[in-house]
Chain A
Amino acid sequence: MRSVPAQRAILEAPPTRVELWFNERLEPAYSRVSVLDQASSRVDLRDAAVAADDARRLSVSLPALAPGRYTVTFRVLSIDGHVVESKLTFTVKSWSRRTP
């Protein structure tokens, strides 16, 4: 799979969302992703969803993240009934965010 932010990315500005692309279409009902901070508390906006126009994309929105290291954990069910569970990390370097 592939993601934005990428695995181990070091970002100048905090991302507004995490997007994951998989090789197979996902079952929306059983595909979850959450973003945890260093203290393992959940920081995402709990709106994780499989994209309506591309069943291989799973994304979740983020609030304005403070600098630090974040872990994205996901557990997805592909259309052929296989469960894939994994995680990735990214780091937000500093506060240079301006409001768009």
Chain B
Amino acid sequence: MYALGLCARWLHLASSILLVGAATTIALAGRSDRPTARRWEHRVLLGSRGLALAALGSGLIVLGLQTALFEGRGGAALEAGSIARVLIETQAGRVWLVRFGLLAILAAFLWSRLHVESSLDWRAARAQAMLLGAAALVPAAAAGHAAAVEPETARAIALDGLHVLGAGVWVGGLLPLALLLWTAAAEPGADARPYAVLAARRFSRLALGVVLVLVATGTLMAIANVGNVAGLVGTAYGRLLLAKLGLVVAALALAAVNRAVHLGRLAGDGPTVGRPAMRRLATFLVGEGLIALAVLAIVATMTVTPPARHEAPTWPFSVRLSFAALEGAPAASARVLIGSQIAVLGLVGLAAGLAIRGRRLPLVAGALVVLGAGVGLALPPLAVDAYPTTYLRPSVPYHAASIASGATLYREHCAACHGAGGAGDAPAGLRLARPPADLRGPHTALHTAGDLFWWLTNGIPEAGMPAFGRELGEEQRWDLVNFLRALSSGYSARGMRPAIEPDRPWLVAPDFTFAVGPTPPRSLREYRGRRTVLLVLYELARARSRLAEIAGRDGTLALLGVEVIAVPVDAAPDAIKRIGPEPRVLFSVVTEGAQAIVTAYHLLAASPHVEFLIDRQGYIRAVTRGSGAAGDLDKTIAEVQRLNEERTAASAPEEHVH
């Protein structure tokens, strides 16, 4: 089923693209009265008829298989009702309808017997085939991965549309042009030789521009769909893209030879230079065309492969490069700086060597040596150990409940060696081959979540750290990773004060879910982009006056867009009742979910009474550690006003999950 689907998609894509290219090439070559040229045009038109039928037939198979996938039943592929539902109710179906309709019109147009004797008629007919082909091809972008790119969906669809259109013009033109050159190079085709040479030159000029468009749109789309190096080398989608790029480079190399060598010789002396060049160019074009068809097979596979940005990458190397490795290492930093400068020198030399015509070889060779030396000097200090899971994103979000669960697991499984507070000072740990790391330190934050996950799963044998992969489930290990992240963040946040640092958000507020009395549960995330949150962790006995102060300024806080969420540290389910008639509870008092919030946020700042100011992007910006006595709420309000004045909204914390 999968193989049939791929074949159908490939056939559909390839025929749709070749239709555009065939029409463009005819239009590009122009009208001619030479018999050979007309014969060629007729053959390309006959081929287009076949292509249109292939596109329609394979399109039907693609639709049937898509219906089966959407409905979750193989039988649905042949049921009219199910297919109609897909066509009417899904974007993919509606796009299919539009495209199939245009393809059908194009097929009818190609099969109709037109008499195009006048030049105007000819141009109208060829332009119509070209436009119909393009119109049937481009909307495919709205049913592919581009449609799911956010934000700027329209931009992604436009880029993708331009990309496939470019592919149509370039890839689709290769085979018709090869046919023309081959025919013209033969003895009886002599009358069409000037026509063929002209067509080849026009195509070459157009193709150069189109390739630039393809590279630009392809790069932008790869950034949107793959995102980073880990996605490129560590996911199925990324590797398909790499394979595609490899083939594209091969096709471009052939194209470069065509431009540099063959094209100039076409007009040379017929028997000795021109015709052999024509034949070689035709052969090379066929080679390019075959490579392009292979590229389309990869593209067809990519359309049914989830894009890398939603997949868990498996890092294939044992090292990665990280600038974080240079922190606190001045000697290494100097080495990287010097090495990078030498490498830049090498690059400049390389550019000069390629630009200057004389003495090219020694210059380029020398520049490559310098470049290599620079890279060799600069890279080693940047290399840090990496594991297959290094770029894995946590499958469990950075959430208070996960952190709290991680805290419990830590006490049960880790504290014996790493110490209750994570300092690595417990007696059992000190007896190990290598004493356990201080988990509070910033270096914990320098490792990726995936690194920590790898060590938890597989242990660190040489240090004596055991593996927990069998003992703890995947979610539990991620809970521990989230706990460690909070622990380390808390250590870094020791210096956080009641005053915000303008435009410097860095401490991510763990998400949490809470309920106030009988109302349905809400989460911190829901306030993102809407409200600033003042999270108050209070102990009722000592915080009455502070709560009264907050209740008293209820109107001002609401006006400034502040949501107050008060969390009793004893996590009493009857917290609202306990507060009694005074102060009036004019803010959210958490009756459910408090335990996890207190556990998680006390890791970030432990104090009997503590208040966190969380900005609209979900970053903790200020921490007030107090006793719960009524203080100066005006100060907090002033900080909120400063937050409201910030212009540059930081991007929301990365919390990608799928």
Contacts and interface: CB of A to CB of B under 8 A. Distances in A.
Interface string B143-161: 1111110100000000000
Interface string A1-36: 110111111011101110000011101111000000
B66 interface: yes
B656 interface: yes
Given A8-B475, A96-B573, A2 B658 contact: no
Interface string A58-100: 0000000000000000010111111110000000000011111
B591 A12 contact: yes
A5 B70 contact: no
B401 A25 contact: no
5 contacts: A5-B513, A28-B89, A30-B90, A81-B144, A99-B518
A6 B399 CA distance: 9
The interface size bin for chain B is: 35 or more
A98 B517 contact: yes
B397 interface: yes
B306 interface: yes
A78 B306 CA distance: 11
Contacts of B657: 1-2, 23
B89 A27 contact: yes
The 3 closest A-B pairs by CB, nearest first: A29-B89, A80-B148, A24-B148
Contact of A83 (B70, B146, B147): B70
Interface in B508-530: 513, 515, 517-523, 525
Given A12-B515, A97-B518, A4 B591 contact: no
Contact of B573 (A4, A8, A12): A12
A17 B520 contact: yes
A6 B92 contact: no
Contacts of B72: 75, 83
Interface of B: 66, 69-72, 85, 89-92, 143-148, 150, 306, 310, 396-397, 399, 401, 405, 475, 513, 515, 517-523, 525, 573, 591-592, 656-658
Contacts of B656: 23
A79 B148 contact: yes
A15 B520 contact: yes
A98 B148 CA distance: 42
A8 B402 CA distance: 9
Interface of A: 1-2, 4-9, 11-13, 15-17, 23-25, 27-30, 75, 77-84, 96-100
Contacts of A5: 513, 521
A65 to B, nearest CB: 12
Contacts of B396: 7
B592 A13 contact: yes
A29 B85 contact: yes
A2 B143 contact: no
Given A1-B657, A77-B70, A84-B658, 13 more contacts: A1-B658, A5-B513, A5-B521, A6-B397, A6-B399, A7-B396, A23-B656, A27-B70, A79-B91, A80-B92, A80-B143, A98-B518, A100-B519
B148 A9 contact: no
A71 B124 CA distance: 62
Contacts of B475: 7-8
A80 B147 contact: yes
A100 B518 contact: yes
Contacts of A81: 66, 69, 92, 143-144
A77 B90 contact: yes
A36 to B, nearest CB: 18
A75 B69 CA distance: 12
Contacts of A82: 306
A1 to B, nearest CB: 6
A98 to B, nearest CB: 5
Given A29-B90, A80-B145, A6 B520 contact: no
A5 to B, nearest CB: 6
A52 B516 CA distance: 26
A69 B306 CA distance: 32
Contacts of A97: 518
A30 B70 contact: yes
Nearest to A16: B520
A96 B147 CA distance: 45
Most interface-central of B91, B519, B656 (chain A CB within 10 A):
B91
Given A15-B520, A99-B518, A27 B90 contact: yes
A23 B310 contact: yes
Nearest to B522: A4
Contacts of A79: 91, 147-148
Chain B CB count within 10 A is highest, among A11, A30, A98, for: A30
Contacts of B405: 8
A6 B521 CA distance: 10
Nearest to A75: B72
A77 B90 CA distance: 9
A12 B148 contact: no
A24 B150 contact: yes
Nearest to A98: B518
A15 B85 contact: no
A15 B397 CA distance: 20
A25 B522 contact: no
B326 to A, nearest CB: 34
Nearest to A27: B90
A67 to B, nearest CB: 14
A1 B405 CA distance: 20
B521 A15 contact: yes
Contacts of B144: 80-81
A12 B658 CA distance: 27
A77 to B, nearest CB: 6
Nearest to B310: A23
A95 B72 CA distance: 38
Contacts of B70: 27, 30, 77, 83
Given A12-B592, A13-B518, A27 B91 contact: yes
Contacts of A98: 517-518
Contacts of B66: 81
Contact of B148 (A17, A30, A78, A99): A78
Nearest to B405: A8
A77 B515 CA distance: 31
Contacts of A12: 515, 573, 591-592
A19 to B, nearest CB: 9
A78 B658 CA distance: 12
